[in-house]
């Protein structure tokens, strides 16, 4: 009894395999590609401000104005360097905005503050950025403190 075996060529299955592989890869791309893009370019989440009642806001303004006056006095007495004073000014103003609005701007970058639509805070913090991080600067801490006091006083 003679048995003959005819082998099929290897490449006869290749198109089916390629279509199956392309379908699996395509399905995986469709499923996972949008998720990867969302993680790669997250938009800053901008919380809605929750304003304080007027009587609480007035006491909050008084509290932070006195902190700014204290900062002015300590810098005038040379108890702080300009750099440390700018860092403290930035912290005081950010804390005020957090307490006044509930937005946690303490850890926001400058671009996140801008995206949060807080233009007055953005201007103040932008003014503090260079003096906070530079070894030498030409900024006037006293003018910056007075601007901060004006922003705190006019906040609504």
CA distance 143 to 148: 9
Q: Quote the CA–CA distance of 146 and 62 in Å, as a whole number.
A: 14
Q: Please count the CA atoms within 13 angstroms of the CA of 80 that sit on its side-chain side.
A: 18
pLDDT of residue 82: 87
Tokens of 124: 């103040």
Across the 156 residues of the chain, what is the mean pLDDT of every consecutive 10-residue run? Answer: 74 74 90 69 63 77 94 94 90 92 87 87 86 76 92 88
pLDDT the model gives residue 61: 92
C-alpha span between 140 and 133 (Å, rounded): 15
The predicted pLDDT at position 78 comes to: 93
Domain regions of the chain by residue span: 54-154
Report pLDDT for 13: 64
Q: What pLDDT, on a 0 to 100 scale, did the predictor assign at position 76? A: 95
| Alpha-helical segments (H) within the chain | 14-40, 54-76, 82-101, 110-115, 119-133, 141-154
pLDDT of residue 104: 87
pLDDT value of residue 42: 61
Q: What is the pLDDT of residue 4?
A: 81
pLDDT of residue 133: 73
The 10 Å CB-count burial string (b at 16+, else e) for 31-47 is eeeeeeeeeeeeeeeee
CA dihedral 57, 58, 62, 68 (to 10 degrees): 50
What pLDDT is recorded for position 64?
A: 94
Query: Residue 46's pLDDT is what?
Result: 61
Spatial neighbors of 96 by CB under 8 A, at least 6 apart, are 60, 64, 152, 155
């Amino acid at each position: 009894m003679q048995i003959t075996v005819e082998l099929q060529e290897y490449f006869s299955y290749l198109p089916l395999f390629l279509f199956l592989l392309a379908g699996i890869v395509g399905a995986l791309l469709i499923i996972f590609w949008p998720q990867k893009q969302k993680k790669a370019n997250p938009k800053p989440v901008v919380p809605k401000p929750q304003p304080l009642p007027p009587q609480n806001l007035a006491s909050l303004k008084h509290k932070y104005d006195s902190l700014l006056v204290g900062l002015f006095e300590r810098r005038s007495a040379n108890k702080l360097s300009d750099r440390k004073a700018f860092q403290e000014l930035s912290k005081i103003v950010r804390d005020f905005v957090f307490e006044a609005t509930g937005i946690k701007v303490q850890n926001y970058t400058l671009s996140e503050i801008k995206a949060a639509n807080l233009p007055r805070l953005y201007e103040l913090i932008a003014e503090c950025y260079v003096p906070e991080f530079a070894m030498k600067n030409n900024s006037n801490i006293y003018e910056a403190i007075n601007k901060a006091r004006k922003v705190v006083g006019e906040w609504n």
